[in-house]
Amino acid sequence: MHPSNRWLKAAATAATILGASAALAQGQSDVRGPYLGGGVGVNTDSELVWNLTGGYRLHRNFAAEVAYTDLGKITINGHPLDSRALEIAALGIIPLNETFSVYARLGAYSGRAKGDGFDEKHGNILFGAGGEYAATRDLGVRVQWQRYSDFGGGGIGTKDQDVFTVHGVYYFR
């Protein structure tokens, strides 16, 4: 076989493999529609956190979510506080292949920290990042880190609150 024919065959094979991989990633990640999820994890103070999430995948690379998160007990300036937040966020999603994707999130929260004689309400931005594994056609598993900027407020002060969670997500198709 002539050397230039080998290069042509190698290039055609590589293009076929890359094209098939892109088609598979497009097939899984082109999902649009609503989803519900829930998760558990820990906060910066190693306390249990849980949340409920509702979202809508608008495009293969974009989703919008609303959530309720019970942030557990957090300590701000020596005060132990029960905390929770309502949030809204946009997700920028990058599919890596047909089953894995990574995402970044940016949004806002309205939080409440109560205890030790305080009852503070405060809102600010939230941001985070995570990855999702498509376990089945309709079920995803996420691992996520998220930061609530300047949680607290009023007389207790504020602190950034990090949350690490694992989520199950059900897509309605």
The burial of 9, by beta-carbon neighbours within 10 Å (0-12 exposed, 13-18 middle, 19 or more buried), is given as exposed
Residue spans of the domains in the chain: they are 31-171
- Can you tell me whether residue 156 is helix, strand or coil? helix
Q: Quickly list H helices, the chain.
A: 3-29
Cα separation, 27 vs 74, whole angstroms: 42
Tell me, what's the pLDDT at 153? 86
Tell me, what's the pLDDT at 173? 82
The separation between the first and the last C-alpha atoms of the chain, rounded to the nearest angstrom, is 50
Domain 31-171 in this protein, CATH class: mainly beta
- Can you tell me whether residue 135 is helix, strand or coil? coil
Tell me, what's the pLDDT at 30? 59
Are residues 22 and 16 in contact, defined by beta-carbon separation less than 8 angstroms?
no
Tell me, what's the pLDDT at 110? 97
Tell me, what's the pLDDT at 26? 43
Tell me, what's the pLDDT at 7? 52
For the chain (length 173 residues), average pLDDT per consecutive 10? 51 45 46 94 96 96 97 93 97 96 98 93 96 95 97 90 97 90
Write the CA distances from 122 to 19, 31, 75, integer angstroms.
Answer: 49, 35, 15
Cα separation, 152 vs 83, whole angstroms: 9
